[in-house]
Structure formats: C-alpha cells, structure tokens
Structure 1
Amino acid sequence: MKKNKVISADDAIALISEGDVVTTTGFVQSCIPEALHAALERRYVETGAPRDLTLIMTAGAGDSKGLGTGRFHHDGLLRKVIAANFGRMPKVAQAAQENRILGYNLPQGVISQLYRACAAGQPGLFSKVGLHTYVDPRHGGGRVNELTSTDIVKLVEVDGEEWLFYTATKIDVAFIRGTSADPSGNLSMEKEALTLDSLAQAMAAKNNGGIVIAQVERIVEDGSLKPKDVRVPGILVDCVVVADTAVNHRMNYGTEYNAALSGEIRVPVTSLAKLPLNERKIIARRAAFELPPNGVVNLGVGAPEGISSVAAEERITPFITLTTEAGAVGGVLASGSSFGSAANADCIIDQNQMFDFYDGGGLDMTCLGMAECDVEGNVNTSKFGGRLNGCGGFINISQNARCVVFAGTFTAGGLEVAIEDGKLVIVKEGRARKFITAVEQITFSGSFARTRGQPVIYVTERCVFELTPEGLELIEVAPGIDIERDILAHMDFRPIIRKPVQMDARIFRDEPMELKDELLNLKLSERVSYDADRNILFLNLEGWSCRTKADIDDLRTVLVDACVRAGRRVNSVVNHDGFKIAEHLYDDYAAMIEYLLEHHYATTTRYATSAFLRLKMQEALSKRGLAPHVFERKEDAHAFLAAHARAFLDSLGDDEDEEEEEETTAA
C-alpha cells in the first residue's frame, strides 16, 4: 500500500538534525511556506534544537518584520547563510554584519541554477554573472563579513575568457510549497502565484539523501491530480504538511488569494489603479519611453514597478512583454506584497528557467532601482547606509539585458516635489545624496558595461544621465529645474555636461502621453521634411530611440516614401542630437543608409553632439565602405552639404560644356 505522507508541521520539523543545510522557497512576500518556518522557530525556542543550520535561499522570503526567514534570527539556530537577499530578514542580516554567523551574498539566478547543479550531482556552476562586482573574488567573493573566510566563488579562465565558478553546497532539507497534494505527496500549484524552484530544490535534497517537506492548503484523493498538473512528483516528497490558509498559507502577506495572479481568471486592464502624478510616476513615465516594442522587459522593485501601471494606462501592454525573474511572463506586473507575480500572465515558468533566459541575453530591456551611483556609472543596491540588503536578481539581470535603465529619485529621505504649470518644483530636498564619488559596493559595474558597449541610462524625477565612454553625462533636465541649483549642488561629482535637452513635457502633465504613437513610430513621418527649392530632405531624430530592427524598418519606410514623393535624388541632413540606438543595431542602421544612397540619396550628412555616437556611426559606415560625413555641429553638416551641392552643380556645368563642344565639332 502507498504510504500516507501527511503529517503535522511539528513532526516534520522534528526530522531536521543539527548542522543540516536547509533551503526554502518563496519570493519577497509570495509563496512562502510559513507554517514550516513557524514550526522550526517554535522547536528551536522551546528545545534549543536544531542548532548550527545552514540556510540557502534565492530571493528574500519575508515581510522584513520577523515573518518568513526572519523567524530564523535566534542565536545559535543558524551558522551560515547563503542568500541573494538579506533585506527581508533584517535580524539575520544584523547577525551577519556583527560576525555572529557566516554569510555569502550571491546573485539570485546563480543560487537558483545551483539547485539544479546539486540535483545533478555536479560540483558547481560556471557563469559570467558577477564579474567585476563585489561577487568577483577580486572584490570580496560575495563574503559579507570578516568571519567568513572560505571562498565559494573562484575566478577561472576558459579559452581565454574570464568566468566565475560557484561551488555547490549539498542540501539536506528542502522546504517547498504547493496548493494541493495527494497522500502520496504529488503536488499541484493551481492557486499559487509562482512555481519558483520547488522542483529543483526537491531534487537537490532528495538526490543528496535528504528530506523534502511540502506545505499545502489541502489534501486530495490519490489519482485525482492530472499528470501535467503535478509540478513536483511524490517520489521527491517525504512529508506533506497542511497549513491554515488564512494564517500560514496566504498567497502573500498582503493578499489571502487573488485569482488573477494565479491565472484562474483574467481581469480588465482598465480596472487597475492609476498612479498619482508624483515623483515615482514621473520616473516611471520617463523610463517607459525606453520600452522596446515587441520586446521582452524585466522590471525591478521600487520605482521601476510603476512602469507596469504606466504601460497599462497608456494602452501599450499588448505591445511589450513584461516579465519578472520569479517566472511571470506577460500580463500586468503586480506590485507591493504581490511583487514578482502578474495579473493576466501569459504563463508562469520556474525561476531557474527564467534566469537561463535572462543570462542568455533574452532580455531586450530592464529597469532597476538604484540606491547609489558614482562617477564611473557604478550602481549599488546591495549594501548601503549601514544595511546589508543583498543583490537579489539585480546582477544577473543588469549584466545581461541588452539595454539597462536605472530608476530612482535623485535624493533620498524626505524628498517632496510638486508640479506647477507643467514644471517640476523641489518642495523639500531629500536628506541623503545618491550620486556620490564612489559607491560603497559595486552591484553593477559601469566600466564593465562600457567595455561591452551596453547602453545604460539613469532616470530620476529631475534629470537623466547616460553612461558614455568618458563617464556619466547629463543628457536631459526636467522643465523648471536649474542645473546648478537643483542638480549639481546635490551631487558629489560633476558629470559631463555638453548639450542636455529638456525632458519630454508630456511626462509632467496629468493626462495620457500618447506613448503608443511614440513606441510604434506612428508619428515618425512628422520627423521628416523636404525643401524642394534646395532639394534637401531634413530628418530630425533628436530624442528618438532606435531599440529594435523593426524601428529601423519603420524609419526606412518613412524615408523611402519621402524620397519617392520628391521625385528625384535628394540631399539629406540628419539631426542625431539625443538620438539613441542599441549597440547591436549600428550595422543594420548603416545598411539602411547604404540602401538609401544607392537608390534615393545624392548625398547625406549628419551631426551629433555625442562623441561616442559619432565614433560608432563612423565605424559602422566605414565597415560598409561609406564615407561617414558625421559632424559635431549642425553648421558643419550644412556647410558640407552646400559644398557638395556646388560641386555637383559644377560637374553638371562641365558636362554641358563638353556636350556643347562635341556638338560644335560635329557640325
């Protein structure tokens, strides 16, 4: 007869021994096996056992006030923690900072993928994730204190390239969670918002001879679960604990159950709350201009969360695919206690699979928060202000996305702003500076991004910076903001200032921005004008972003139409000031110019203030054997065009003289 694996939480926890390595599931405040955490805390407080456990976890799993893994703060319970996030268990973080426990802060995706390495009996994981950050052994190896001396991250070279090797830690006990279980331990997750790494964690423990304890909200009859609905098979589960739904098995700490987040129903997008026009929405609105149509996007916690609401409000959700590292694909991303899940999601995949996709370059764009930023463009979100927060999925995501947008207020701690007549007013400045000379810890390396040509911008409520080869450059300023008074006076360094433009005025009006027209290039033709008397086609790409190959195709169509209407070959002048193009698209852009020169242009010239853009454009055009004709000043570009036009007319005159001489000779 099949064994009935359903037991009490206390009986299940009694199976844990001193020194065991325990892993638990959960993402921020969702999918946490709270009944198991509570039972482990209760046993230790009452008996003093088990002691000296090692806790392994990916994302933070708690409310930052003592629930979730925050229950494990009692002295002696933990000996070591390997986690991506410490912020959700502040007392455990404090113990690490005070050298009372060993601690490692590793990237969330790495820990997630290490579960599979453990399950497969592999010694660890090779990854480029973490290079040139605090996880790199040259910068600390992810160790969080002086007590922690053993290296579990090594720098290695494979075929001339640098890699990091992360050592796997064998797992003795896995806490996982599902919705339903049969007496044999088969688990389904129909009411869960996410599936996370439950299967990989269970395999890792089971294949190491350990135990797997699953928390569910109900028991169903053997054989009643459809095979494809079973997310963790009973062969991997040792114990099943039924939890009280209202107390220890809520969907997340703020929501008992939301059928839209589990995928049971779909809700109208119009029913989603609209954000008030404050500093958070200003930041989200500006960042939304970077969204790639038909692209895949990840949004981080904090200010970036607002982009999902802005996308819904602007009716552009169908034209982008929003994702979370926790595994949600599509739909409208949730915020607050539900962060990591999504309403109306297209699908939910396991967390380790999502990080495979991210690490392989699947993300077209990410928008992440920033606690500190320095003159090199480095960003810190992991350790600042005396707090050990942890990197979460930040390193995986920021290093591998094709385009990175960091978003956050310009200062922190009490900042108050207002909008008056479309202008931004700083009512009260924040107490803490975020743009400092050197960040406390490098969670994102600006220099590494520059060497790889990764596009990076930094969006605040009052200005926008861009990472250039020379350093951080101020490229946009909000209307009403004085650069000296409101920006430079509150930075520890002076950024590059060449020709900043005003942030789009639509951002500061409490009305729809018509963002769909912008992202889908529906008004791209308005950037083209033709002077028939001088036979000059003007193309104004100031502030335009070329994010995908489709953007280039749209631009080519608009330019070809304009040239056909002109009825002859035209001379073209292009304004590239404030123009942004994804690194991998320069050759496609040059190919478009080559086509236009072959079929429609007499000549073309362009100008851009950005030295980096001019250099990249020159390289791309030269590779195709085209004369670059890229100038810094508008006047130089027009002077070149005028000279070329005169030379062209002179050549026509010479041709006419030759024809006249030939006719005279013939006569």
Structure 2
Amino acid sequence: MKIVDAQEAARLVPAGATIAISGGGYRVAPESIIAAVAERFATEGAPGDLTVIAAAMIERSRGGKGGMTTGLNRLARKGLMRRIIVSSFSRSSTHELNVGIAENAFAAYNFPMGTIVQWLRAQASGRPGLATPVGLGTYVDPRIEGGRVNAAASAPMSSVVDLAGHEMIYYPCEPVHVALVKASAADSRGNLYFDREAFSHGVLDCALAAHNSGGIVIAEVNRLVDIGDIHPRMGLIPGAIVDAVVVAPEPWEDEQDPVITGAARAELAPPDDRNLPRDLVARAVVERLPQGAMVNLGAGIPMYDVPEAARRAGRSDIYFTVEQGPMGGWPKVGGVSRNLEMIFEQQEVFHFYEGGGPDVSVLSFGQVDRHGNVNVSKFSGMLPGCGGFINIVHGIKTLFFCGTLTTGGLVEDLGETGLAVTTEGRIQRFVPDVEQITFNARGALAAGKTVTYVTDRGLFRLTPDGLELFAIAPGIELQKHVLSQIPFPVRVAADLQTMDIGLFIAGQMSGKAAQ
C-alpha cells in the first residue's frame, strides 16, 4: 500500500477501464478521487471510454438541494464515460448525470441495487455470471426494457434463462479494472476501517471484484491510524488488496455523527407535531403495523415520516431496517438510523430481503395503475431509478405503498372533522398504465403477497380484479375527491370503512416518544 494524493490516484485509472465506485448519496463515496479523475479528463482528455458501476447515485445533495458538480455528476462528460450501470440517478433532471443520459452522451443502465452488488460479488467469486429471479416482469426484464435507460444503451446486458425449471435473469460477469472506495481510516498495512461510517454500501463488493479481476483498489480515507488502534471487527477490506490510499478529511461533520454510526446513543428531540398530508399517510401506516414487526422502510414518506409517526405513537416495539444496512433504531433521510443497533453489509441486506426476512415493507409510489402495478423509477419527467425497490418487493410478503392521491400544488387541511381538500393537485398519481413497471402486481398476487396502497384520501388493497377501496378519509366525498381523481374503475368495498379520525389530528396518537 502506498499513500498518494488524489491526482496521483487519478493517473492510476487507465483509459477504457471498468471502475466500480462505492457509496450512496454523499456517504462512503471517494469524492476527492472522483473529482481528480474528472479534472484529469478535463485537462488531458484521459482517462476516457470508462464503464462506471455504482450501487447507487453519488452526489452531495441535502434535502433534494445541491449535488451539481459532485459525485457521479462530475463524470457525466461525453468521452469520459462510455457506459454507466447504477441503481439510481439524480432526483433532479437538470443535474449533469441525468442531462447526459437524456442527451445520449453515454449508455445508461438502471439495475436494482441488490442485483448490482450481487453481480460484483459473482465477479469476485470467479463465476460466469449472476442468475436471479429478481426483476422478472418489471422494466429490468430483458423482454421488456432490460434496464436500458436511453438510446445509447442499445446493447443488452442480460438475458432470460431457464435454471432447473425456473426463469431467471442472467447477467454475464465482466472484469472490474479499478475499485474506488471510501473508508474512515487506514492503518500502516493498508487495512481499511469503517468505525465512523453510517453504512458500508458495497465497498467490499467493489474491492473484491477489482482485486480478483486482476485490477487495483484505491481507497480514500479520512485519517491514518496505527495497527491495533481500531478493533479488527471495524475493518472490512484487508490491506493486502489495497494498492493506494488517498487521505482527505471529511468536509461535512455530520457525515460521521456518532449517533448514526453506532458509536454513541442520544436522547432524541421530540417528534414534530406537524400535520401535513404526508404525516397523515405515515400515521395511517403505523396504525396498521403489527406488534413487534420487523419493518423495511424505503425512501420518501416511509423513511422520513413513518419513524417519526412511530415515535410519536410510542411504537418502540417496531424493529426498523433500511436497505443501506442500518438495523434497529430510528431511520431518517439518507438511509441512516439514529440509535441503531447494528449494521448489515450490503450483500447481507439484500439476501435477507429477497428471502423475505422482514415482516413488512413500507415503500413510496410515484404512479399506481389499474392493475396495481407501481412505478417509482421513471415518471413525470423524472428519472430517480429503482434503487433497492425491486429487490425488496421480490421477497417481502406484506407491502404498503404510500403517497398522496394527487400531487403538484395539492393543499389539504387536516383536523377534528377529518380531511378537507382546499386545492386539488394538478397531477393524478393513479394512472391507467404506469410509465414503467417497478412492481408487478400480477406477480405479487401469484406469490401470495398482501398489498395495501395508503393515501391521504383512503386505503386500497390489491385483488385479482385490481384495486379495491376499503377505507375512506372522513370529511371527503367518495365521488368528488376519490373516484373522480382515478382515471379507471376502482371497486368500492361493500363494507367501506371510515379511517380513524385520530389519524387526522396532530398529536392524537401521542404516547411517550420512543427513543
């Protein structure tokens, strides 16, 4: 192992290389090395023609703001990348990566997060490829879109095969020439430690795939330590496979907040008594979660609002988990958890989820159609990608999809009389056919899943005949506020229930705030 600066590290990346980059959002991301690669290309025109593999979108954005000229956006230059394979993109269509995709500056493929890390591990294991049933019947299925995002992605990267009578999507492996990874610290032997990280997010998969392909591993760390300074169980990548280390102090202090890395526990501030439609949806979900359930939370209302609704209700019996790896505790924006209890590696998370480990998954929806299909990956001019969504819905048997019935300028009042729609949203989120199938309702029914769609106006369930409204919000009219906002027929249950009025009143579910 040798210590180099970011510019020297960038010179180790050859033209035409396939590089695997760790991280998600702004965490566990080798930002200084990514920046140096982009700067080298801007001044020298090299390295070019790269294939970039990443488990998730990398950009330094907060609350949906910022992120331009950071992370993978730095690499979105014509000639620098030939191809990118990632589970998610920027939530902003104006950020460089999404603009480059729209302009066909490089080929873009959108595969599930768990599939990408398992594919990297298959390469590390010397296997010819990865065969998985995850994604059949969705846009990832080669018979539909094959995960191809733009016209430049004309070459298929997968095929459907028969394995002992079971259909599988098969992804042939390919060598990884360079891994760019991020760790908290490195010791004098090059061993990499993660004692100040909220999760590891595929770092080991990137490193093993590169090393076992005959490639190199370059790490960015925040500090150097002596051997023995950090417990070996905090180590994840052995120094014997690390070729170079770049030392770069972390610019954002809260990235290594001990309350989200597990180094400390804290008494959390009381949950907010905010009373927006998204809070109503979160409370309606919490009300239906079984006692003692292990619950996966996806991005959006599930990860941001459901934990706070659960804390307000005193539901410390719920064991939350998020796809980035935190287990237990109270999740929040960014896939981290406060007062977490342990952290799974990325491989283990998705093996657990795909096998149906958690009792329940709570996920957002972008669109829902007449069949009950859900789209979270491409809608309304946005290209967020699927993230780990497809892996999650594959295995977990009880699913809740959350969102408001309409969006775009929606104004609603919640209170003691229930729900009042002041200004209807411009965009209907229930549509005849989704733009892209991220969740296949027919496949879910065949697998015996229980599926509930939780909205501000009412609760729907998936049946063999499509959607059925079985509970309605007090204070609204069935035809005017629900059925007229859904452009396809929806069955109304004969015993239509009224949602609990307590869900519409801020603080009504209050118990002692769970910590």
TM-score, normalising length: structure 1? 0.73
In structure 1, the partner of 2:49 is 52
Give 1:92's aligned amino acid. L
Alignment of 1:503-582 (within 5 A): 503-513=499-509
1 or 2, which has the higher helix percentage? 1
1:75 to 69, 78, 91: 78
Alignment of 1:404-443 (within 5 A): 404-443=399-438
Give 2:503's aligned amino acid. I
Task: Check whether the contact 1:97–1:388 (CA below 8 A) recurs between aligned residues.
Answer: no
In structure 1, the partner of 2:241 is 236
1:377 to 354, 368, 372: 372
In structure 2, the partner of 1:41 is 38
1 or 2, which has the higher strand percentage? 2
**CA–CA distance in 2 between the matches of 1:66 and 1:286?**
39
Task: Check whether the contact 2:459–2:471 (CA below 8 A) recurs between aligned residues.
Answer: yes
In structure 2, the partner of 1:307 is 306
- Cα deviation for residue 256 of structure 1 reads 4.5
Return 136-145 or 417-426, whichever deviates more. 417-426
In structure 2, the partner of 1:278 is 276
**CA–CA distance in 1 between the matches of 2:502 and 2:395?**
31
Query: For the structure 1 residues 331 and 58, does the alpha-carbon distance in structure 2 shift closer, same or farther, using more than 3 Å as the test?
Result: same
Alignment of 1:9-28 (within 5 A): 9-28=6-25
Q: Which protein is bigger by CA-based radius of gyration?
A: 1
**CA–CA distance in 1 between the matches of 2:187 and 2:91?**
32
In structure 2, the partner of 1:258 is 257
- Cα deviation for residue 359 of structure 1 reads 0.7
2:28 to 28, 31, 35: 31
Task: Check whether the contact 2:77–2:105 (CA below 8 A) recurs between aligned residues.
Answer: no
In structure 2, the partner of 1:325 is 323
Task: Check whether the contact 1:372–1:381 (CA below 8 A) recurs between aligned residues.
Answer: yes
Describe the superposition over 1:43-94 as per-residue Cα deviations: whole angstroms up to 9, x where unpaired.
Answer: 1112111111111011221124332111111221110011111225842233
In structure 2, the partner of 1:396 is 391
1:101 to 100, 106, 114: 106
- Cα deviation for residue 97 of structure 1 reads 2.8
In structure 2, the partner of 1:287 is 285
Task: Check whether the contact 1:416–1:427 (CA below 8 A) recurs between aligned residues.
Answer: yes
Task: Check whether the contact 1:130–1:396 (CA below 8 A) recurs between aligned residues.
Answer: yes
SS at match of 2:394: helix
Where structure 2 has 5 or more consecutive residues not aligned to the other structure, the ranges are: 62-66
In structure 1, the partner of 2:2 is 5
Task: Check whether the contact 1:28–1:88 (CA below 8 A) recurs between aligned residues.
Answer: no
RMSD across aligned positions (CA): 1.7
**CA–CA distance in 2 between the matches of 1:430 and 1:87?**
24
**CA–CA distance in 1 between the matches of 2:350 and 2:313?**
29
- Cα deviation for residue 280 of structure 1 reads 1.0
Task: Check whether the contact 2:307–2:330 (CA below 8 A) recurs between aligned residues.
Answer: yes
Describe the superposition over 1:111-137 as per-residue Cα deviations: whole angstroms up to 9, x where unpaired.
Answer: 011121111111211111101001111
SS at match of 1:169: coil
- Cα deviation for residue 514 of structure 1 reads 6.5
- Cα deviation for residue 275 of structure 1 reads 4.8
Alignment of 1:83-162 (within 5 A): 83-87=86-90, 90-162=95-167
In structure 2, the partner of 1:466 is 461
SS at match of 1:383: coil
Where structure 1 has 5 or more consecutive residues not aligned to the other structure, the ranges are: 517-667
**CA–CA distance in 2 between the matches of 1:117 and 1:178?**
23
Task: Check whether the contact 1:60–1:88 (CA below 8 A) recurs between aligned residues.
Answer: no
Give 1:503's aligned amino acid. M
Task: Check whether the contact 2:198–2:256 (CA below 8 A) recurs between aligned residues.
Answer: no
Query: For the structure 1 residues 78 and 272, does the alpha-carbon distance in structure 2 shift closer, same or farther, using more than 3 Å as the test?
Result: farther
- Cα deviation for residue 100 of structure 1 reads 2.4
Query: For the structure 1 residues 334 and 110, does the alpha-carbon distance in structure 2 shift closer, same or farther, using more than 3 Å as the test?
Result: same
Describe the superposition over 1:312-350 as per-residue Cα deviations: whole angstroms up to 9, x where unpaired.
Answer: 111112x12100111110011122xxx211111110111
**CA–CA distance in 2 between the matches of 1:92 and 1:67?**
10
Give 1:390's aligned amino acid. G
2:498 to 491, 499, 502: 502
Give 2:55's aligned amino acid. T
In structure 1, the partner of 2:199 is 194
**CA–CA distance in 2 between the matches of 1:258 and 1:147?**
41
- Cα deviation for residue 515 of structure 1 reads 8.3
**CA–CA distance in 1 between the matches of 2:407 and 2:504?**
21
Give 1:298's aligned amino acid. N
The answer as to 2:340 corresponding to 1:341 is no
SS at match of 1:149: coil
